[in-house]
Structure 1
Amino acid sequence: MSRPPASPGTRPHAPSRGAMMGPPPIEAPRDYAKTLRRLLRYFGGFKALIVAATIFIAAATLFRTLVPALVGEAIKVDLELGKNLPDFIHRMKIILAIVIGAWIADAVSGILMTRLSNRLVYRLREDSFARVQTLSMESFDRRGIGDFISRMTNDIEMVYNAMNNGFANLVGGLLSMVTVLGAMLLLSWPLSLVVIAVVPVMAVLTAVVGKKIRNAFRKNQEWVGRLTSSIEESVTGVKVTQTFSREEAEFAKFEKINDANQRAGVEAELISYSFMPLMNVMTSLTLGLIVGVGGYLAMRAAGAPDAGGVPGGVSIGLLTAFILYSQRFFEPLRQITQVYNMLQSALAGAERLFELMDTRPEVVEKPDALPMADPAGTVEFSGVSFAYEEGRPVLERISFGTRPGQVVAVVGPTGAGKTTLVNLLGRFYDVRAGSITIDGTDIRDLRIDDLRRCMGVVLQESFFFATTIRENLLYARPGATEEEMVSAARTANAHYFISRLPHGYDTPLSERGANLSQGERQLLGIARAILAAPRILILDEATSSVDSLTEARIQEGLIRLMKGRTSFIIAHRLSTIRNADLVLVLHNRRIVESGTHDELMRKPDGFYARLYGLQGRMPEVLESDL
């Protein structure tokens, strides 16, 4: 496979973190104010939508604020003062019209907020996906694939829900509280003081509980990421699980992570939901005080003998309107409390998302990187050392050179560093010491795209996207003609089986090309590499997944492909590299032997000769014996 470049950069024998290695420690919440400010900057391009939505939210709030006053006026004028029934019905019609107006304004604001939320999420997904495409393989080694998926799906969904469902409630609630409080002050300032006295208490509760909610949701979303990693790994490796009858063990491992995720989720929800009963208790107590104080003032105004000597002025209609207003005041307060909880979850998700966007790739192109249009293919490793983890070297002091068009075979037991060596050549990782040059230029001084475009890679397990065979082949070179594509398929001996498929080159592939046999996928991967017309070719176990007959059929095509190109062959079948110009034997992180096949076989006690002899006798146990 010639591209995408991420495929050859896969770290060999590296289990994903979280599912296999256990969860990393929970990270403490960071600066949520900074996260909120950064999130708000995303609204810069949507000012018109925000203004329009705010206007309709304000209109709906104003309409709803008018209703209690009109109801109170109707009770006072038309019922208490004995006005006629037609006037009362007329007032009810006005109230109904206002209610309908509020409903229409709510509907329009909801539509606008849905558009705004979707556009915001669209930009967040684009920015996060663009960042992921630039990250080095080391970033994926540190975090499981599921963690990236979780951040780009679950965490973004949290932000979407907060925006779509929370913004209208937040803006509308704040406007409603301000207008309702103003109306209550106009009606009765003594009763208004009862309401105002409760607000600071609620604010303190919100601040105290809010911090706990943020921490709980952050912890919950970390566990969601680990759960996603576990699912991704388990589904990908389900064949291995079934082969070794490890279903129960896999389920036990998943159950452990799922249980921890459930506990974190329950903890977050319990803390969140415990907030609402506190608010409801405060609301009920306040309403009780309003009814008590208001009833006393109303009785005093009506001249009740047991009202005492306290002056009043509260009528039944005014008290009714004030009670309705107080409910209007506390209803948005409860909504704001719910939005506050939702906002904590959204900020925790946004923080993780921005953390992803801020991740810097370890492999970075220099600002003055040199272009590489048509390299000759001279490759030189000089004292190269590399380690995935500090203190655990994989390659040490690797030095060798090739001439343009040479075929270099890299052999050695599993874990010797064969795949790592070619990963360094493509700059999927940077060397820890030493240098790698192409045509005399250090690859760290070259443009990364140019470097990788000059390489074609065929892996042991070729990866294919869930699209047509044609699009998968053209992924290597989008501008290739039909003739060039078919010619590449013929060279790889893939045209025969492709032409027999129901839709030929337009046959859709399932995920990872699972509807093709392993041998067919390998032939297709070779065809894709041929179409890329690379100057440097890397065959990483390229023929190990096909039968002997198929292997023989593609050898001729591979020989034609390698002619004039610097080629690196990583193979366990040593019979496939007899004609290589240079054989590098890796063992214990170093090159222990090098030369042609014949030269190395003249050393009967040499590592390569023993390796070759062992394979000839027992090819199926070669790896375990070494």
Structure 2
Amino acid sequence: MSDNRQSGTTNSSKRRSMRPGGGHGSMNLDKADNFNISMKRLFKYFGRDKAFLIIGLLTILASVVLNTIAPGILGAAITNHLERSLDINAFAGQMVILLFIYIGAFVTNVVSSVTISFMSNRVIMRMRTEGFNHIQRLSISYFDKKGIGDIISRMTNDIDMVYQFMSNGFINTVNAFFTITGIIIAMFNLNLPLTLAVLATLPVVGLMIAVIGRQVRKAAKEKQSQIGNLSAAIEESVTGMKVIQSFHREKSEQEKFDSVNRSARDASIEMAVRSYMMMPLMQLVNVFGLVFVVGLGGVLVVANPEVYSIGLLTAFIVYARKFFEPLRQVAQVYNMFNSAMAGAERIFEVFDSTEELPSPETPVKLQELPGRVEFDDVSFGYEENKPVISGIDFMAEPGQVTAIVGPTGAGKTTMINLLARFYDVNSGSIKIDGTDLREYSRTDIRELMGIVLQEPFFFATTIRENLMYGRPEATEDEMIKAAKIANAHHFISCLPDGYDTKLTERGMNISQGERQLLAITRTVLSDPKILVLDEA
């Protein structure tokens, strides 16, 4: 293995002050187009589960049909077998039929709920997978701009809002549509004046849903944004706990968190208030509608008993209640729908984020090359017009140990970031064996080199799995040999479970020095052509 060891920076005339690893990358974030586009994109996820969707829709339709014909049978039974002629046996037979109808409606309702729930979980799993895979391809500059807590909130809280609508709201929406359609048809078949009396409330309901719905959607998006800020604040506080306690800044952090927490609380209250406005207003409209139907029906029964019977009025009262119930569901689901769409827009903002720096269409293949590294008049800044390094020139020959030294903030870590192509240079070029870094594929570049960072990261799994992370096919002997080269084998062997010792998140159950030794072991085991040590 040839060692080209990069650990530092340049002379003072060619640098700009900046903390190691600091700065912000440029980010090109294409936001989700708009509400309608987001809705269409969301429903495209149902495409792979058309069979479940069709079964769910058919069983919902069957349940609605059975529930819709039941009041007509009840009204006819009262009119024909109790009101106009007394026939208890015939009436009892109709009630048995009615019982089986309601049992059938119950069974089809259960089937539809289970089917839609199964489909929703499959859809949400695909969304999470797509989101996670996309995040893996995002440029480092994206994470410079976006808080980790906010990204986590989008992938958990926002996706959960979408799931809640898919699993519950979708069923209620389809059920309400079929129910309202079926009831309107049934009522028209029974009596036109009473049907028009029931339908008189629709314009008022539509206006309320349109006006309040826009307010709910705006409030829902703000609420989700504030929850993202809250998650980011918690994540930052937990990650920086040592710094907070070292400088006795607990009270200051509590005050900052209280401010973010209050904003999240206020956004949630605003969302709840706007959502709850819908239900009392819907209830009021429903009460007026029922009173109007009962009052008009009573007058018509008295005025024209030959046409308007008590059985007909009973059927219409049942239909009216069944008609207004899905309207209340629509109002409630619309609030859920707006919350889901607000979450979907935030999710699609992540999906639409620019991925990692592009590889060339026809990349140069990395063969068994010597591994010469050359910085040719390299300049770079994380932000426009704020250069971090400027005019850097040097060459690291194969087999040569090259130390680049300089004070903190001189740009040493920045040079490593450029060499690994986490960022592209603003001007000049970085070459490996005479070929510009940008002409290679990112995968080939990162397989060529091994980097030990100042703050090594470890996953919450065994030491063995962490060491083999970069080379899973390595043998036990190769792993132990690499640990001995890095002087890590002794301390690992002294642990109760040796290489099978479980590390906590970030490896915080071992010392900083031990984490550094493990990081060097992991890099040595990957057998890189170019070894880069960032103050390791």
Q: TM-score, normalised by structure 2?
A: 0.92
The reply on whether 1:203 has 2:197 as its aligned counterpart is no
In structure 2, the partner of 1:539 is 533
Partner of 2:393: 399
Q: Tell me the distance in 2 between the aligned counterparts of 1:429 and 1:80.
A: 85
The letter of the residue matching 1:454 is L
Q: Is the 8 A contact 1:476 1:528 kept in 2?
A: yes
Could you tell me which residue of structure 1 aligns to residue 365 of structure 2? 371
One-letter code aligned to 1:134: R
Partner of 2:388: helix, strand, or coil?
A: strand
Whether contact under 8 Å (2:495, 2:501) holds in the other structure is yes
Cα pair distance change 1:15/1:321, threshold 3 Å: farther
- Between the aligned partners of 2:21 and 2:476, the Cα distance in structure 1 is 38
Structure 1 residues 454 and 326: CA distance shift in structure 2, 3 A: same
**2:153 matched to 1:150?**
yes
Indicate conservation of the 8 Å contact 2:141/2:423, yes or no.
yes
1:444 to 412, 417, 438: 438
Aligned-partner residue type, residue 471 of structure 1: E
Conserved 8 A contact 1:412-1:418: yes
Give per-residue Cα distances to partners, 1:33-65, cap 9 Å, x unaligned: 111111121111111010011111111111211
Compute the displacement of 1:362 (Å). 5.4
- Rounded Cα–Cα distance in structure 2 between residues aligned with 1:462 and 1:512: 8
Give the whole-Å Cα distance in 2 for the aligned partners of 1:519 and 1:90: 85
Which string of whole-angstrom CA distances, capped at 9 and with x for unpartnered residues, describes residues 437-488 of structure 1?
A: 0101111110101101111111222211111111111111111112111111
SS of residue paired to 2:461: coil
Q: Aligned match of 1:390 in 384, 392, 411? A: 384
Q: Does 1:331 align with 2:318?
A: no
- 1:272 Cα deviation after fit: 1.4
Identity percentage over the alignment? 49
Q: Which 4+ residue blocks in structure 1 deviate beyond 4 angstroms?
A: 11-17, 27-30
1:176 and 2:174 correspond: no
Deviation at 1:13, TM superposition (A): 5.8
- Any idea what SS the aligned residue of 1:408 has? coil
Q: Which shows bigger deviation, 427-436 or 277-286?
A: 277-286
Q: 1:341 to 1:28 in 2, by over 3 A?
A: farther
SS in 1 for 2:46: helix
Contact 1:463 1:512 in 2 (8 A): yes
| Aligned counterparts of 1:366 and 1:135: Cα–Cα separation in 2 | 17
- Call closer, same or farther: CA 1:392–1:280 in 2, change over 3 Å: same
Check conservation: 2:32, 2:346, Cα contact below 8 A.
no
**Distance 1:508-1:373 versus aligned 2 partners, 3 A rule:** farther
Inter-partner Cα distance in structure 1 for 2:381 and 2:215: 41
Assess, with a 3 A threshold, how the Cα gap between structure 1 residues 244 and 500 changes in structure 2: closer, same or farther.
Answer: same
- Distance in 1 (CA, whole Å) between partners of 2:40 and 2:108 is 28
The whole-number CA distance in structure 1 between the counterparts of 2:107 and 2:415 is: 66
Structure whose alpha-carbon radius of gyration is higher: 1
Q: TM-score, normalised by structure 1?
A: 0.79
2:387 match: secondary structure = strand
Match of 1:133 in 2: 136
Q: Which residue of structure 1 lines up, in the alignment, with residue 521 of structure 2?
A: 527
Ranges in structure 1 where 5+ consecutive residues have no aligned partner: 1-10, 18-26, 303-311, 543-626
Which amino acid in structure 2 is aligned with residue 446 of structure 1? Y
> What's 1:105 paired with?
108
Establish whether residue 483 from structure 1 lines up as the match of residue 495 from structure 2.
no
Distance 1:352 1:463 in 2: 28
Which residue of structure 2 aligns with residue 474 of structure 1?
A: 468
* Selected match of 1:80 from 83, 90, 103: 83
Alignment length (residue pairs): 514
Pairing partner for 2:263 from 238, 260, 270: 260
Deviation of 1:497 (Å): 2.3
Deviation of residue 504 (structure 1)?
A: 2.3
Alpha-carbon spacing, 1:135–1:156, altered in 2? closer, same or farther (3 Å) = same
Residues 300, 313 of structure 1: 8 Å contact kept: no
1:249-304 deviation line (CA, Å, top 9, x unaligned):
111111111111111111112111111222211111111110111110011123xx
2:533 aligned counterpart, secondary structure: strand
Cα distance in 2, alignment partners of residues 497 and 16 from structure 1: 38
Q: Name the SS of the counterpart of 1:410 in structure 2.
A: coil
The equivalent residue for 1:4 is: none
Distance 1:317 1:254 in 2: 63
Amino acid corresponding to residue 416 of structure 1 in structure 2: A
Instruction: Report matched runs for 1:22-61 at 5 Å.
Output: 31-61=34-64
Are 2:221 and 1:218 aligned?
yes
Aligned pairs for 1:178-577 within 5 A: 178-302=181-305, 313-361=307-355, 363-542=357-536
Unaligned residue ranges in structure 2 (runs of 5+)? 1-18
RMSD of aligned residue pairs (Cα, Å): 1.9
